[in-house]
Structure 1
């Protein structure tokens, strides 16, 4: 077991990248950290069963550069959650989050995720057991409702019940989840966003740390939400357009890193992972959005996706192509400006 010392303090305002299955792997998290030292990173959801009965080291290991990092757990057995929380603390995680928001059939069948909103007392028991097992913060990520349980008052009852344990931090996905009739993908888009419910929760429970999640895609939107709540969790936009994380550094007056500098830092990491036996494609898939909306971005994605990149040299060639494409564009713009001035 590799124990990683937890030395990071989470900065205010609290900005985080949402836990996303198959996406927020340790390779993505290493990449994401290069954009911004203050953003809080989450693991994918890891079930208690996978840790207790599976390969705990594979599920819990992370790079020391990933701090501050949160382990998101999926489960509903208080004793199992307490055991996994203690393991997470020993491993060096900054915080632990309980998933009460995932709408997939698979996790529902195991009494994990959004279905637990219907059982606030059980969630409170889980949180209490987790808190008693560790000294690091424990919190909850949940929806504003599920199925017929859609009112603000029902969400408030859920939050108040869990808050009686001493839990003070709630990450709220501002959509209900329709567990009977919509797929997990549809549950990310179809139910309308109700940001006002999350704002109201913060207003009526000012002592709680309320973090909002759902459909947030820009620095400007993040600023607007921070006028009403304590934190913002960015979901898929942080994956498809990772340079947003650099733009969010403005919240702490950080300088925005250069995309090519980021790739120069990624190259030794990729080389190390290849030496460990990792396929190149499982790493390059996380960097496809680096040049989103810039000249040559499509060719960048094509060069690195679908197994097209076979070696580290192929990645270096793709970087060189992007450098040339951007220089060509800048030169063209400058020539057009000179023509207009002449």
Structure 2
């Protein structure tokens, strides 16, 4: 008698219509949704809410402590379940670091198609997330699970920050220089992965980048010359830089040749490996970006490329830049670079490339 055969599990990325931070609702659509929500009284101790689309909410507990609260979750960006869990957890914790906070604990958010994925695969996703939390020095203290059509995993991440060191995304000043902590290109790599066009070296670089915790955040936040900080995620470099520009009421000049990029990414983009989210991002804010006349199409795709677990983006006084870069390097972010400068606005806040 022949034993019944078990059908192989599908690739994780085949179960999701979008992966990683590319799942985000486009910024233009999101602003339209939020525009219709009623405004509520803001407690005096709510230091950061939704007003500037910042990375996390921050609530003052006392003169020296404020609670940083954020959540992030998405569908698979890779097929390896352990890697998916690590990437999603690292990405969620990043929002605490981006406010200058120190993570203290997390809650898991889990939606899985339980009739499609095995218990072992789901367990590996959760253990990957737990490993990322352990690397950040925090426990997964609880969570919630549902049976869903697409695999979804992420965290509620909580942290603490001294209100004196809190960094918002909206406080850049004219004259500040802009520093990016991680190279761009994760979204393009994920598109190539889905098409089988990403080689082993590219995949290894992708995993190394997306699972690297943004630990420089608290140290950067203690520098008085660091005026604004955020992390680059689903809206791409252009989208998150524009959030800084709008908050500061300033222009931002971006030196495109100085922007760090993962090896091979522009070649992948030229070959058509571009996410749909990149185009949706550009449709939402492209009119606020001034490009040189000869700017290549693949570079424009990279400019709006959704970054899953992307790097910290800071605006700091020019005389603080060397100290800020030294902090990045001390934490292992050797590719961190000065990529632009905040300037007085012309007519309306713009991101201008040169």
- TM bin (shorter chain): under 0.3
Scaled by the length of structure 1, the TM-score of the pair is 0.25
The structure with the largest strand share of the pair is 2
Q: Which has the larger radius of gyration?
A: 1
